[in-house]
Amino acid sequence: MATRAEVVSGPGAGESLFAVETVDPISDAMTISPYSTMTKRADFVAANGGLRVARPGFVLLAKANGGQGMRAGITVTKKIGNAVVRNRMKRRFRALLREMLPEHGLADTDHVLIGRENGVERDFTLLRDELLAALGRAQAGKGDPPRSQRGRKRGPGQRGAAKTAAPRAAGA
């Protein structure tokens, strides 16, 4: 694929609508994020085995990741609302994480925010205070323990709760 500079310098360059873009190193300096984003399902499943700190707007999962640095992930399920509502909640969570994790996040820990229904209309400053309190509780180890796997008997390859129909008695 051609870069924008190659398109401008090609045949008919004098008539091009594109201008050569230059990057000003002072104003457009790239910043390196102090945390990375979790994208793999296995990372989210592993974080689910960590400490849980519940707040009215979200649930924070925190689990040490064995030296992979500070990582963050966001989960908002369909029961929260339609795509517009879920995306708005994810944008708010990303802004919270960008603001709070560099200073208050736990080192070498995976942080996962799970959205709750109250989090959509909740005041942003209230969410910020809740995240600060949740990170403090997680750092002190005062969250709820991981959820038990009791009652979850799933065979290999079964993702959902597969129900088997009971055999019907004849004539019933």
Tokens of 88: 């708005």
Q: What is the pLDDT of residue 157?
A: 58
Taking 60 as the threshold, does the pLDDT of residue 60 lie above it?
Answer: yes
Q: Length of the chain in residues, anyone? A: 172
Q: What is the pLDDT of residues 107-151, one digit of tens each?
A: 989 999 999 998 889 999 999 999 999 999 999 988 887 776 555
Alpha-carbon gap, residue 51 to 35, rounded angstroms = 19
Return the higher-pLDDT residue of 2 and 74: 74
At residue 96, φ and ψ (nearest 5 deg) are -60, -45
Q: How far is CA 79 from the centre of its chain?
A: 16
CA angle, corner 75, sides to 69 and 127, nearest 5? 85
Taking 80 as the threshold, does the pLDDT of residue 3 lie above it?
Answer: no
3-state SS, residue 60? strand
Q: What is the pTM of this model?
A: 0.66
Lowest mean pLDDT among 8-17, 55-64, 84-93: 8-17
3-state SS, residue 91? helix
Q: What is the pLDDT of residue 82?
A: 95
Beta bridge mates, 59: 54, 114
Q: Are strands 109-115 and 71-75 parallel, antiparallel or unpaired?
A: parallel
Taking 90 as the threshold, does the pLDDT of residue 63 lie above it?
Answer: yes
CB 35 within 8 A of CB 71: yes
Dihedral sign from CA coordinates of 112, 80, 40, 93: negative
Q: What is the pLDDT of residues 20-44, one digit of tens each?
A: 344 445 545 444 566 788 889 999 9
CB 66 within 8 A of CB 43: no
Sheet containing strand 109-115, strands side by side: 36-37, 71-75, 109-115, 58-64, 51-54
Domains of the chain with bracketed CATH: 38-140 (3.30.230.10)
Alpha-carbon gap, residue 14 to 7, rounded angstroms = 11
